[in-house]
Amino acid sequence: MPLVLTAAAIGGVPLLALLLLVLVGAASPLPSLAAMVAIAAMAVLLAALLGRRIARLLDLVSGAHGHDSESGLGRRPSLLSLAAEVESLSRRARVQTAEIARLRQAEFAVLNQLPTPLLVLDQVGALLRTNVIAQAAFGGDIPAILRQPALRSTVSRALAGSGVHSAELTLSAPVVRELHASVVVLTPPLAGGGQLLILLSDRTRERAVERMRADFVANASHELRTPLASLIGFIETLRGPAANDAAAQARFLAIMDEQAARMKRLIDNLLNLSRIELSEHQAPQGEVELAELVPRVIAGFEPAFATRGQRLELSLEPALPSVLGDADQLAQVLQNLIDNAVRHGRHGGVIHLSAGTAESDPRWPAGRGIVVAVADDGPGIPRQHLPRLTERFYRVDRGRSSHAGTGLGLAIIKHIVNRHRGRLLIESTEGTGAIFSIWLPLV
Ligand SMILES: Nc1ncnc2c1ncn2[C@@H]1O[C@H](COP(=O)(O)OP(=O)(O)OP(=O)(O)O)[C@@H](O)[C@H]1O
Ligand SMILES: [Mg+2]
């Protein structure tokens, strides 16, 4: 039926016009009849051809639409149904375009918000994009990172193959930083053409900790080996050349006693330090009355003050509030500070110990606290040593090693103060003495 209608639409007007001409005698009937037959045949042929083309188009549109081709063929091929199909196809295309835009945005948002610094490169290794945290961490250094030969060769290798590759990088300016870069090949690539992902992590701190640990082991064994070697030497001498020399024996035994005591102090301090480190993440819960603790610690130093001819001046603020802390550890801090003032301070000098409410001062943390300070009038500490004093085994004057301390006293203080969420401040002017101040939070 649609074929007849289409053929009528094509051939109807010329047929009627010819018929009219024959009827009014303007055309001879026989040739007109032949022309009419030819026109009707052409119309049917064209209608059939058109129908086939429309059916084919419908088929294609239905296929693109996701309908099965059966249903497209089964439908009557008309211009109306073709228009309906095209319209629904364009509606679907609009929805899909919006969906693709949304997915691209989501992809961008995921990369941008990942907490790892990352760089996106295209298929020739050029930088396409960085995320927020990469900008914050490396910002202007990103071009320098990408120029690093180790990273460039890793990128080339990654572009030639697939999988994950990595490189260790060192940035020298503005400060030395050690980075680890993982290069990931993206298959398929990201919507914007991203072919490689470089994930950066700053390993500077980790490496410094590794080095410190190695240094620590080396230092600890060295510090113990020296007195041990001296003990072994003296034992050999006592057995051999000094076997019958009572005076030498007494002298050597006194030195051996000193060396053994030093080894014991070293081991005690090291054990103490690791115990403190283990609990450093847990802030102490107790309340400590410094007004009671300070005089108790000072009393233990009376013989030392007498030996060195030193005098202690104490200024405690009246009605000192309690601090949040561990009494034994705070006693240890005071002991180490007074011990330093006695041993490193001046013979016959004055040691000043004060404790009072902290003034508001940018050097101290925010919040209410107490400042305990131990000051001496000894030789002081050269400026360049100040930042390193709290390192383990660090001593300003290494020359006087046999009578020197272990170099662990201030490291212990630093860890205790950290555990108390406090702050340690060391100030010194060479020639006039040193002041060690500790801020501690109030209960
Ligand atoms: N009051 C001070 N005056 C001058 N120098 C000091 C003073 N306190 C510490 N120092 C210097 O700081 C170094 C480190 O002090 P620290 O208390 O850590 O170790 P130590 O006193 O040598 O040994 P330890 O305390 O373990 O027996 C000391 O060796 C000394 O050179
Ligand atoms: Mg000390």
Q: Which residues surround ligand 2, an ion (CB under 5 A)?
A: 340, 405, 409
Query: Are 291 and 398 part of one and the same domain?
Result: yes
Q: Which of 267, 282, 297 is the last residue of a domain?
A: 282
CA 379 to ligand 1: nearest atom: 4
Asked if 340 and 410 touch (Cβ cutoff 8 Å), the reply is yes
Domain match, 73 and 132 both: no
Q: Which of 173, 202, 231 is the last residue of a domain?
A: 202
Domain assignment of residue 130, given as a range: 114-202
Pair 198, 269 in one domain:
no
End-to-end CA distance of the chain: 98
270 with 401, same domain? no
Q: Within this chain, do residues 294 and 443 fall inside the same structural domain, yes or no? A: yes
pTM above 0.95, yes or no: no
Q: What are phi and psi of 246, to 5 degrees?
A: -60, -40
Q: Ligand 1 centre from 278 Cα, in Å? A: 24
Among 251, 282, 313, the domain boundary falls at: 282
Domain membership flag for residue 168: yes
Does residue 101 lie within any of the structural domains? Answer: no
Ligand 1 lining (C-beta closer than 6 Å): 269, 336, 340-341, 344-345, 376, 378, 381, 389, 394-397, 404-411, 434
Is the residue at 108 inside a domain?
Answer: no
* In a domain? residue 79: yes
CATH number at residue 374: 3.30.565.10
Q: What total of structural domains would you count in the chain?
A: 4
Per-residue pLDDT of the chain (443 residues; tens, 9 = 90+): 578 888 888 889 988 998 899 899 888 888 888 999 999 999 999 988 988 888 888 888 777 766 654 444 455 667 788 888 888 889 999 999 999 889 888 888 988 899 999 999 999 999 999 999 999 988 888 999 999 999 999 999 999 987 789 999 998 877 788 999 999 998 888 888 889 999 999 998 888 888 878 888 888 888 899 899 999 999 999 999 988 999 999 999 999 999 999 999 999 999 898 888 888 888 899 999 999 999 999 999 999 999 999 999 999 999 999 999 999 999 999 999 999 999 999 999 999 999 999 998 899 998 999 999 999 999 999 999 999 999 999 999 876 544 578 999 999 999 999 999 999 999 999 999 999 999 999 98
CATH number of the structural domain spanning residue 270: 1.10.287.130
Of ligand 1's listed atoms, the one at least distance from the Cα of 411 is 18
- The verdict on 320 and 410 lying in the same domain is yes
Closest protein CA for atom 25 of ligand 1: 409
The minimum-distance atom of ligand 1 relative to the CA of 340 is 8
In a domain, 104, yes or no: no
Dist. CA 145–CA 152, nearest whole Å: 9
Same domain for 157 and 270, yes or no, is: no
Q: Which atom of ligand 1 is nearest to the CA of 404?
A: 22
Q: Using CB atoms within 10 Å of the CB of residue 117, give its burial: 0 to 12 exposed, 13 to 18 middle, 19+ buried.
A: buried
Query: In this structure, what CATH number is given to the domain that contains residue 169?
Result: 3.30.450.20
Side-chain-facing half-sphere of 264: CA atoms under 13 Å: 6
Q: Do the domain assignments include residue 107?
A: no
Give the ligand with the smallest distance to the CA of 404. 1
